[in-house]
Chain A
């Protein structure tokens, strides 16, 4: 194999211009044949092939080449050509130069997290995290429903409103005299047995679904009442709304709920703890609207002051003793003290830690996390982690998982589940087989990264992806898409509950999570 080297002839010249190739790449050349034109600061010279063979060019035309570099090989045999090719493949791909990159590391990570194509960022200059956030917000704004007057102009970007949101509707409107009577005779209503309350509300014109449980001593008063199937309100709950109370299927609140506001639109599958208080000063204000999205979690002793809209998105986690205020109480505004009335918004999948306070005007971005005991004033950006008093963004709420790591975490779930069941005293077989798993009560529980069938019923399969149909007697939990395929009994409920503890909430319902074996 022969090399064509740009020779260095002058101590002060480091580069030459490879102006032009006189032959095509990978053609036969003969010894002495001019193959390219090189311009140095001194002269323009033709470089000749050092021998006969196949030329393999290593540089494009019209580029500066450092003197002393090999610009081409001349392979004298097919073997040599093959070895040149092999060498070329071994070379690791060059790291792109900083100058060729345009998007920051943070921007790339956030874009990947949200499936944003960075090519769609229309900008001269660097693409930063802020640009990607703006794009995410723009997407949200584009997909958000038009703002209702009941929301007093609050942007619903990033908030999936519950299906019950219908401020102008009439569904569940009580006959006016019935509403008056209900309002007057609250204590009598409280004293009625749960089933009687349901019957009475229906009679008055309210929409009340099946299996609705209005606990002992509970009260529901509003000019419009719509309660979907399976809703449960614990003992001595108090719901008093000036316009409308609507709650979707299988949502439940524990004992001693107190809910007072102008409008309350609650979604499905909401889980509320005990002693949740919603209301406070100004709950009758024209702007006192509460929305809580599907699958949201409201922890014990949470307090939501609603005199301006409070929007809680889908799958929001508002943990124990969290506090939301939409106004402050202070001294005279005419003496220069702050007098603030402002909405509070928690965008979808955001989380608020124990005992955190969200001050009037707070907005928690999608998938952002606010640490326990933080005090939030203003906006917490999408996807960020904020902590402190006042809360400051210190990083991202999640980190990017490699495919390998994700697979590893999913695979380990089978082991963890197996260990849990065994420790709880259930008879489980040893882990084995492919797909890897075990048997409990005659049902196979296993993990198949990509489910394509081939697991015999009865079985519960954990899978990252699902291809094709799921046969009778087999339930597949599609972990990434968070969907359940097929049906099953107590084992499926157990696995579903196990997943829920890991933040994987599977659809479709039921949302009662009886827990089963675990």
Chain B
């Protein structure tokens, strides 16, 4: 099932997809805190859903740790639960369920069961919500085998990705960057988004590769995902306009299992890699990507990989402090310029 996301705001695309999924499949249920109408969820993603399907949308107590387990139980018994966790930061409360249950049941029980649940949760900062409501914790999930972590960007078919997650037999953690909700979705048209040529891989959770030169040349590949994509695109555009340094950008939507075909293909053209993520630096998504790319494509690399991420610290609430903490357009530009291959 796919919905047309073009031009819609993220929240609209997600909401319409949920309505379509509920209409299409009777086994889909959704629960989470404050998801009932008229409130419709903290970010309004579930607006109208409980009015239309009162017995399939459950508002829950503030019991995240158990909600993950409840979803697991439902999925074990053939339902397609969608759990909304109001802030991604609260995923930490459910880590036992994720690590010791959800991710393990299928393989531990020798493939006798599947756990087709979807956890939808907003992550990311830049809204002044402070240290416990602004994090990008998806990296914590990356060390957990047998789950799927999907993070759409504003250039992905956001609704289509959510639909694919619900169809998926694996547990899927669907990371919605908070800024995505309010931003219009920009899908490729005639192979382009703005001035950038775009290719989209055919996976259920595709990677988008952007090029300012129609894929003929590139000084570096910047790999990113989710809410960092607009920041990276601004940086890459600035590098083109101000310095005629042409980078390719790969926007992953599937962070786990990490599939780097699009990145390797791009690095083969550009010979250099920068990773950019909104989460903190240490043990981040970029670290894993850097390790894998150097394993697979050492001979393609002309410079050590550069990483752009938030500083290893808390995300302050005050805007200037938060801006200072989170990776910016300038940080991405500086990382590209710091590549040995670009500097020379």
Contacts and interface: CB of A to CB of B under 8 A. Distances in A.
In-complex A–B contact (CB below 8 Å): yes
B214 interface: yes
Q: How large is the interface on A (under 10, 10 to 19, 20 to 34, 35 or more residues)?
A: 20 to 34
B239 to A, nearest CB: 10
A124 interface: yes
B241 A104 contact: yes
A460 B212 CA distance: 53
Contacts, number: 58
B289 to A, nearest CB: 26
A126 B182 contact: no
A99 B192 contact: no
A126 B40 contact: no
B240 interface: yes
A128 B239 CA distance: 12
Which among A12, A42, A104, A125 has the greatest number of chain B C-beta atoms within 10 A? A12
A128 B195 contact: no
Contact of A128 (B40, B192, B234, B244): B244
A12 B244 contact: no
B241 A41 contact: no
Interface string A490-514: 0000000000000000000000000
Interface of A is mostly: loop
Contacts of A98: 234, 237-238, 241
Nearest to A106: B244
Interface in B227-260: 234, 237-238, 240-244
B11 interface: yes
A19 to B, nearest CB: 13
Interface string A225-257: 000000000000000000000000000000000
B43 A12 contact: yes
A48 interface: no
A285 interface: no
Interface string A103-130: 1111000000000000000001110110
A125 B192 contact: yes
Given A105-B241, A105-B243, 20 more contacts: A12-B178, A13-B182, A15-B182, A41-B11, A41-B44, A42-B38, A42-B40, A42-B47, A64-B184, A98-B241, A99-B234, A104-B241, A104-B242, A104-B244, A106-B244, A125-B192, A125-B214, A126-B212, A128-B240, A128-B244
Interface of B: 9, 11, 38, 40, 42-44, 47, 127, 178, 182, 184, 190, 192, 194-197, 212-214, 234, 237-238, 240-244
20 contacts: A12-B42, A12-B44, A14-B182, A41-B47, A42-B40, A64-B9, A64-B184, A98-B237, A98-B238, A99-B194, A99-B234, A99-B237, A101-B241, A105-B241, A106-B244, A124-B192, A125-B197, A125-B212, A126-B240, A128-B244
